[in-house]
Amino acid sequence: MAEVFRLINTIQDYAWGSRTAIPELLGESSPADKPQAELWMGAHPKAPSTVLLEEGGQLPLPELVAQDPAGTLGATVAQRFSSRLPFLFKVLAAALPLSIQVHPNLEQAREGFRRENELGIPLDAFQRNYRDANHKPEVISALTPFWALNGFRPIPEMLDLLHSIGFPSISEHLDAFRKNPDSAGLKIFFAALMRLDRKTRGRAIEEAVHWARGQLNQEQRSGTPETSTTPIARWLVRLQELYPGDIGVLSPLLLNLMLLQPGDTMFLEAGLLHAYLEGMGIELMANSDNVIRGGLTPKHKDLEELLSILRFEGKAVRLAEALETVPGERVFQTPAEEFRLAEIRVQPDTPYTSPKTGSIELMICLDGEGAIDAVDPLPLSKGDSLMIPASTSPYTIHGQLRLFKAFVPLD
């Protein structure tokens, strides 16, 4: 197998999605009738990509892989990952916040999947947490300004924020946290917060939003520049408008609030509480759909499971570094064994020549016009997606293009 194949991919129409971002990327009518949240590229059983064959037929990507695992995935990848594509590649477009959530590590995923299977919970049941036995490390690279929450803030910073609001409704829990400003104290405080009765929870949210509106009004009246707490105040108000009374409204006080600019890329490890709030990005993850939710959603929430897999460590977020491996290609350095994400920029006077990765590659074009030369030249333009088998000879891309590529690291 030594060809380059076009892909047809499934769009997930989750309620938080954008009606314009993905249709405009694909050159389709915009706004769409329904929110379009994610474009999936890969072999996940829920929505596998379809490969357009050279002779005119079509074949689901998992079936093409099964016909020649070593030629498609690469011999090392096929052996290491039981002849399965180990990653899921996405375009994500969030017009509204996603749920506050966490992903399990590999051991937790296997145990949770086994446990829920033994309980006879159907895979598509509302209350199902584990839909497969895999973990879900992931990386997101911003295509537009992209708001996200990622992991607990450093504890001193978190306590300063909470103190500035006061929170008379939860003063007992906050005092206990101040006396034990460490991971154990954070876990006790967070669990108490999540277990508040409806009345106390409502008062705590009201206190936070009152503080936030006061901050914003004061800045507006005085005309002073924004401070570091301005985005936090804005998101507190916004989340209360979208999810009134949900404990997740308080999450910007507890978690690192990030504004990624286009090109900024961050890695999310297992056990870190996080949420994507707004924006468009390229997402790459291990081939899993395991999500345990804690708030900002009408979907199933499981507090006890959430507490059992969360990592209660407060630290700042470091963006992923990018290494230029060949001219025109930046590979984002992340620790996942299943995937690497690369950004490719092709200029008219500087074609891109691929390095030999030994891995299957999935690719999507974000901008521009050009062609990929492998066996035969194949035109490329905005919205096109490709599957390049591991057995394909090194290829060249000409034109003026911006692309993202997913592959499996072998070193």
Catalytic residues: 293
Which residue bears the tokens 């096929």? 78
Which residue bears the tokens 């959603």? 297
Rounded CA-CA distance 164/170 in Å is 14
Per residue in 198-226, is it b (16+ CB within 10 Å) or e — as a string? eeebeebbebbbebbeebbeebeeeeeee
Q: What is residue 402's three-state secondary structure? A: strand
Token pair listed for 296: 């900002």
DSSP state of 54: T
Within 10 angstroms of residue 56's Cβ, the number of other Cβ atoms is: 6
Residues 6+ apart with CB under 8 A from 230: 215, 216, 219
Chain centroid offset of residue 126 CA? 22
The strand pair at 361-373 and 396-407 is best described as: antiparallel
Q: What are phi and psi of 74, to 5 degrees?
A: 105, 140
